Structure 1
Amino acid sequence: MTFQTLQLQRDARGVVTLTLNTPERRNVLSPQMIADLTAFARTVGQERETRVVVLQGAGPVFCAGGDLAWMRAQLTADRAQRMAEARKLAEMLQALNTLPVPLIGRLHGGAFGGGVGLACVCDMTIAARGTKFCFSETRLGIIPATIGPYVLARMGEGRARRVFMSGRVFAADEAEGLGLVAHVVEEAALDTAVTAEVAPYLATAPGAVAAAKALTRVLGPRIDAAVIEDSITRLAEIWEGEEARQGITAFLDKRPPPWGG
């Protein structure tokens, strides 16, 4: 199966490397990439021969977050259109979050906005030292709504509140302390570290791994249809506010928003 914005490689062991493959756009979450990731999760990720999925980004940045063209379109969309677009993002995140195989994130360069959300739906992430992180939404007058349930599940409320609203950029070492990433290694050691995380799964029963992962979601923080729908509604509502219009317009015009640089 091929995808417009993704590159897939599967080795003889059943390890699938899933690469966000629009490096010229810093792997932003465009509508096409959201659709491709959803389709991957619902097809390739469910195949019996898939044992582990490694998620990475091509080029200098793992994922720079939202797509500018998508943001521009939301300014003139009506409520129903905004809800529909937010639902596509929410469904993609949930599809990846509930993959019946381990999902390991290989992060480098930067993970911003929705890119942090992708890191949080991974079962564990390894980041290269020097990787930058940011919940950049509030700088634009919006909120990290659809990624919110997964961020809070990963980090816990107390740690999330340190970075969830401030819009500040933080380094990989802080991300490790916040529980966002499991390990930070030098970039030259990134592949070796990922290989070490993959290896134990190749000695486990795939069905048992899937059942154990499903159990973690039953026992962990609630992320059900009601929680997801609330995140969709909150995102659509914030897009209707004056701050969103001012913030997104300023960002697209490459000038500071009214509240600061």
Structure 2
Amino acid sequence: MQYETLNLGIDGRVATVTLNRPDVRNAFNETMIAELSSAFTALNDRDDVRAVVLAASGKAFCAGADLNWMKKMAGYSDDENRADAMRLAHMLSSIYRCNKPVIARVNGDAYAGGMGLIAACDIVVAVDSARFCLSEARLGLIPATIAPYVIRALGEQASRRYFTTAEQFDCATAWRLGLVSEAVSAEQLDATVQQIAATLCANGPQAVRACKQLVQDIAGQELNEAMIEDTAARIARIRAGAEGREGVASFLEKRSPAWRD
């Protein structure tokens, strides 16, 4: 499928979705929002894809909302604003809920909604020169649609600060807070992303999907009898499944599992 604001490529078992509006620092508008939703929905249904990389062209990762799109929003009715916000919320959810692990390849600055894109990903590899900012309050706005993802990534206390101050912070701070998984030089960026993607693809694909879902389902929940029973049932199903049996057998027989062929 051809996209106006994205590039989509598949190399082996890894798909790469690239934001491709470098002239506006990959700021998103209604077209990019719709195309990201479409791309991640399609990749969710592809069994040949084991991991997804979310990348960006140019020097910035994503500057947030496009200025021309924001000008249009100023004239929207309440219903139109609500519908527009829901499209953004569904796009972020399509990344977060993608049944493949998503690696953010952060090549530069990420502001406002761009931080939402990053926070919706599972693994974030960023250049050590990148800067981050939740800048909405400067414009009299709030980072509402991205909040569920950013608060999970930054934590409540850091989110209180950066939501309200709209301060910039550097990559070292983003790494310390947990938003960034790996902070690397520009020269190391691609190699690091490729190494992580290869590691993901070497694991059982059904197990990887189940692991991602497990974290989303368990994080922040009360440790009670229902959770204990649920987690026991999950491992029992995996053990009894074809992939689980093949994984254990290949380990005992000291051979490569079938999913690596």
TM-score (norm 2): 0.82
**Is contact 1:104–1:125 with CA below 8 Å preserved after alignment?**
yes
Deviations 1:84-125 (A, max 9, x none): 000000000011100000100011220000000000011010
Question: How do 1:161-176 residues align onto structure 2 when only pairs under 5 Å count?
Answer: 161-176=160-175
Residue number in structure 2 paired with 1:247: none
**Matched letter for residue 25 of structure 2:** R
3-state SS, counterpart of residue 8 of structure 1: strand
Contact 1:46–1:99 (8 Å) recurs in 2: no
Cα deviation for residue 221 of structure 1 reads 4.4
Partner of 1:206: 205
C-alpha distance in 2 between matches for 1:124 and 1:109: 16
Query: Who is 1:6 aligned against?
Result: 6
Match of 1:85 in 2: 84
Alpha-carbon deviation of 1:193? 1.1
> What amino acid is the match of 1:204?
N
Higher radius of gyration, 1 or 2: 2
Other structure's SS at 2:165 match: coil
The corresponding residue for 2:60 is 61
SS at match of 1:143: coil
Residues 166-199 of structure 1 show CA distances to partners (whole Å, capped at 9, x for unaligned) of: 1111111111111110111111111111122112
Distance in 2 between the 1:160 and 1:176 partners? 14
Q: Which string of whole-angstrom CA distances, capped at 9 and with x for unpartnered residues, describes residues 39-70 of structure 1?
A: 01111232111111111110010100011122
Worse-matched range after superposition: 139-148 or 202-211: 202-211
| Residues 160, 178 of structure 1: 8 Å contact kept | no
Instruction: Check whether the contact 1:108–1:187 (CA below 8 A) recurs between aligned residues.
Output: yes
Structure 1 distance, partners of 2:55, 2:68, is 23
Provide closer, same or farther for how the CA distance between residues 221 and 73 of structure 1 changes in structure 2, counting only shifts above 3 A: farther
Cα distance in structure 2, aligned partners of 1:4 and 1:220: 36
User: Which letter does structure 2 place at the counterpart of 1:8?
Assistant: L
Counterpart in 1 of 2:228?
A: none
- Find the residue that maps to 1:196 and give its secondary structure: helix
RMSD: 1.2
Amino acid in the other structure paired with 2:84: E
The one-letter code of the counterpart of 1:11 is D
CA contact (8 A) 1:153 1:220 kept: no
SS in structure 2 of the partner of residue 61 of structure 1: coil
Question: Comparing both chains, which one has the higher relative contact order based on Cα–Cα distances under 8 Å and sequence gaps of 6 or more?
Answer: 1
- SS of the residue corresponding to residue 40 of structure 2 reads helix
Mean Cα deviation higher: 189-198 or 112-121: 189-198
Q: How many residues align?
A: 221
Question: Structure 1 residue runs of 4+, over 3 Å off?
Answer: none
- Call closer, same or farther: CA 1:121–1:221 in 2, change over 3 Å: farther
Taking the TM superposition and a 5 Å limit, the aligned residue runs for 1:21-170 are 21-170=20-169
Ranges in structure 2 where 5+ consecutive residues have no aligned partner: 222-261
Distance 2:100 2:159 in 1: 26
Unaligned runs of 5+ in 1: 223-261
